[in-house]
Amino acid sequence: MRVITTIEEMQNTISHAKQDGQSIGYVPTMGFLHEGHLTLMEKAREENDIVVISIFVNPLQFGPTEDLSSYPRDFERDKELAEKKMVDYIFYPSVEEMYPHPSSITIKVNERTDVLCGKSRPGHFDGVATVLTKLFHIVQPERAYFGTKDAQQVAVVEGLVNDFHFPIEIIPVETVREMDGLAKSSRNVNLLPNEREQAPILYQSLLRAKEMILEGERNPQTVITFITEMIAENTDGKIDYIEAYSYPMLEEMTKLNGKFIIAMAVKFSKARLIDNIILEINEK
C-alpha cells in the first residue's frame, strides 16, 4: 500500500493503471475510519483491480458553527486499517494541495439539500459536491462507494454524477449495524451507558414502521407519528427530525408510493444519531 500526498502523483499513478487496463474503485473519507468505511473498502476490493481511498478533512463542508479543528484525526490508525483491507493507495493531500488558491468557480447544490440533515447545515452539500468533483477528477474511478447511512449524501452525489456526466458508477452500500441493530458510527462511543441501551430503539422503530407500510399503511404522517411516539416513550433522546420523502429526489409525498426514504436524527446528551430505511412500493 502506498500513501500519495500530491495531485500530480495520484493522477500519474491512475493514468498508468488505466493504461494497463485496471479498474479503479474509490472510497472517499475524512478519516478516523470505522467499520462502515471498512465495509466500503471490502466491497471495492471485491469489484475492482485497484482500490483507492482518500483521507481529507474538507474545510468547505464545515459550517460557521462547526469546529473543523476538533474533527477527530488519527492517520496512523487509519493507515493500518486500510492496509488490512488490502487498499492499494491512500490519497492523503493537505488543504493547501487541494485548495492552493481561492476558487474561481463554485458549485451550488440546488436540490435534495433543504430537508433532513441538510436543512440545518446550509452550504454543507455545496462543499461536499465541490470536493468530490475535484477528487473524482483526480482519482478517475470507475466506481465510487458510499454508505446508505448518510442517504442524503448518496442522493446528492448521484445528482452530481448524473448532472455533470461523470463516467462513474455510484455504489450505495447498506448501513453496517451492531448486533442489536444500532447503526455503527464513531459517535456511538459518546453515548452514556443508559443511552446506549436505548439507542437500538431508533432502528426498531423504523422496522416497525416498515411492517406497517408492508401491511398497507400509506399515510406518511401516520408512520411518522408512530415512530415519534415510540422513540419519545422509550428513549431520553430529543428528536431532531423524522421525515419521509421520495428517493433520491427527496420531495414531499402525500402517499407512500414508489421509492422513498424514512429518515431520522435523534440527539442524546453528547451524540446525534442518524438512521433511515429506504423502501419501494409500486402501486398504481
Q: How far is CA 231 from CA 199, 238, 264, in A?
A: 9, 9, 11
Answer yes or no: is 265 within a domain: yes
35 is in an annotated binding site: yes
Q: What is the pLDDT of residue 187?
A: 81
Question: Are the C-beta atoms of residues 245 and 258 closer than 8 Å to each other?
Answer: no
φ/ψ (deg, to 5) at 210: -60, -45
Q: Alpha-carbon distance 97 to 70, whole Å? A: 21
C-alpha cell at 39: 465495509
Range of the domain at 37: 2-173
User: Would you list the DSSP string of 56-114?
Assistant: ---GGG--TTS-GGGS---HHHHHHHHHHTT--EEE---HHHH-SS--SS-----SS-S
Q: What is the pLDDT of residue 70?
A: 80
32 is in an annotated binding site: yes
Answer yes or no: is 75 within a domain: yes
Answer yes or no: is 272 within a domain: yes
Domain boundary residue among 152, 173, 194? 173
Answer yes or no: is 179 within a domain: no
Same domain, 149 and 193: no
3-state class of 265 per DSSP? Answer: strand
Domain boundary residue among 149, 173, 197? 173
Same domain, 42 and 136: yes
The residue among 72, 73, 44 whose CA lies nearest residue 139 is 44
**CB-facing half-sphere around the CA of 56: CA atoms within 13 A:** 31
Question: Are the C-beta atoms of residues 260 and 284 closer than 8 Å to each other?
Answer: no
Instruction: Report the domain count for the chain.
Output: 2
Q: What is the pLDDT of residue 29?
A: 96
Amino acid in the structure at residue 101: H
Same domain, 27 and 149: yes
Query: Taking the CB of residue 180, how many other CB atoms lie within 10 A of it?
Result: 12
Same domain, 168 and 195: no
Query: Taking the CB of residue 207, how many other CB atoms lie within 10 A of it?
Result: 10
Same domain, 137 and 224: no
Per-residue pLDDT of the chain (284 residues; tens, 9 = 90+): 999 999 999 999 999 999 999 999 999 999 999 889 999 999 999 999 999 999 999 999 988 777 788 888 999 999 999 999 999 999 999 999 999 999 898 899 999 999 999 998 888 999 999 999 999 999 999 999 999 999 999 999 999 999 999 999 999 999 999 999 999 887 888 899 999 999 999 999 999 999 999 999 999 999 999 999 999 999 999 999 999 999 999 999 999 999 999 999 999 999 999 999 999 998 87
228 is in an annotated binding site: no
Answer yes or no: is 178 within a domain: no
Same domain, 29 and 167: yes
Amino acid in the structure at residue 133: T
User: Known catalytic residue: 16?
Assistant: no
Same domain, 82 and 142: yes
Same domain, 168 and 201: no
130 is in an annotated binding site: no
The domain that contains 273 carries what CATH number? 3.30.1300.10
Same domain, 196 and 276: yes
Same domain, 151 and 192: no
The domain that contains 29 carries what CATH number? 3.40.50.620
Same domain, 200 and 155: no
185 is in an annotated binding site: yes
Q: Which of 16, 37, 101, 165 is an active site residue?
A: 37
Q: What angle do CA 34, 71, 102 make, to 5 degrees?
A: 120
φ/ψ (deg, to 5) at 255: -140, 135
